Amino acid sequence: MNQLLKVSTLAPAKVNWTLEVLGRRSDGYHEVRTVLQTVGLCDRITVSTAQELELVVRGPTGGPAAALAGFPPSDNLAYRAAALLRQRARGGLAGARIELEKVIPVGAGLGGGSSDAAAALRALDRLWALHLPANELARLGAHLGTDVPFFLFGGTALGLGRGDEVTPLPDVPPQRLLLAVPRRPVAGKTAAMYASLRDEHFGSGEASERLAAAIREGDIPGDGDVCNAFEAVVSEALPEAAAAAEQCRALGLRPHLAGSGPAHFVLLQAGTESAPLLEALSAAGLDAFEVMTMAASAATAIVEEP
């Protein structure tokens, strides 16, 4: 068998059908219940053989890649994932050139950095012929971020604990979504959102468990199933996100906060013309995308080059 010289894989964004916060844990994190979904707005990770670990980030001029310019590779989750995986292999490995084509907006609540980390783990496991089980890669990924384990499975999944205890669910039937993202990243927004939660915002996790059960029975998530604990505090903690939601409502849309924001997603009904909505949101100062929900097989597919 020829040695692999290059491996590439997509790093899709995600939305949360549900995101319930149950309370603070003894380790300082929060206990959550969440149903997550990969969607077809994707970065791409390509890894190839090299003597040392290298990272190259590229993307459209003025796009998300520009937000990462000037930061050292050690600040990038894809690079850190590579370093962690090489350490796990305990020597004997060469390096790798990691090429990141950045499309997902940075710091938007869409999980782009975590997805990049998962994609790097997945691609390098193949390039370096480690053949680690998905659960082992997920355990490594959890050291990098609570969303990383989910992206190693992709598709639709239930997240428990800090969100890093992942149970895959059946793929939901394809659905059209519209993403609306403020153009200015907000530093420290996740910590601010959690800090704003009070006891009355904590839930039981029942909505997530109920939706997971319905998905197992073949039901399709709808607007009435979507919930996010952070929407109760978004106006005070993240005004940029609240403004984006108002711009969506002004167009007759029903926006839902994506993760900890500031991005929102909208379920598009059959027959809805998206082009005028995308144009109006762009004119209002938002980056807007139409995407489809993404099945697990597509979200984790790998392309090899000998």
In a domain, 1, yes or no: no
Question: What CATH number has the domain bearing residue 197?
Answer: 3.30.70.890
| Active site (catalytic) residues | 14, 147
Q: What are the φ and ψ backbone dihedral angles of 222, each rounded to 5 degrees?
A: -125, 180
Q: What is the pTM of this model?
A: 0.94
Number of domains in the chain: 2
- Residue 304's pLDDT is what? 85
- Tens of pLDDT, residues 52-82: 999 999 988 878 888 888 788 999 999 999 9
Residue 236's domain comprises: 176-204+230-292
Q: What share of the chain is helix, strand, coil (3-state, %, to 5)?
A: 35, 30, 35
Q: What is the CATH number of the domain that holds 56?
A: 3.30.230.10
- 137 contacts: CB under 8 Å, gap ≥ 6: 118, 121, 122, 125, 152
Beta partners for residue 54, in sequence order = 97
Q: Check residue 1 and give its pLDDT.
A: 43
Judge if 147 and 31 occupy the same domain.
yes
How far is residue 208 from each of residues 29, 181, 203, 218, 225, measured CA to CA in Å? 19, 25, 10, 15, 9
Residues 270 and 158 in one domain: no
Same-domain status, 17 and 166: yes
Residue 216 is assigned to a structural domain of this protein: no
Per residue in 20-55, pLDDT (tens digit) is 999 998 888 899 999 999 999 999 999 999 989 999
Q: What is the DSSP letter of 282?
A: H
Does residue 162 sit in the same domain as residue 48?
A: yes
Identify which of 234, 283, 270, 279 has the alpha carbon closest to the alpha carbon of residue 255.
Answer: 234
- Asked whether residue 218 is domain-assigned, the answer is no
Query: Is residue 154 located within the same domain as residue 253?
Result: no
Q: Is 221 contained in some domain?
A: no
- Within a domain: 215: no
Question: Alpha helices, DSSP H only, in 148-274?
Answer: 148-153, 189-196, 206-216, 234-237, 239-249
Residues 125 and 200 in one domain: no
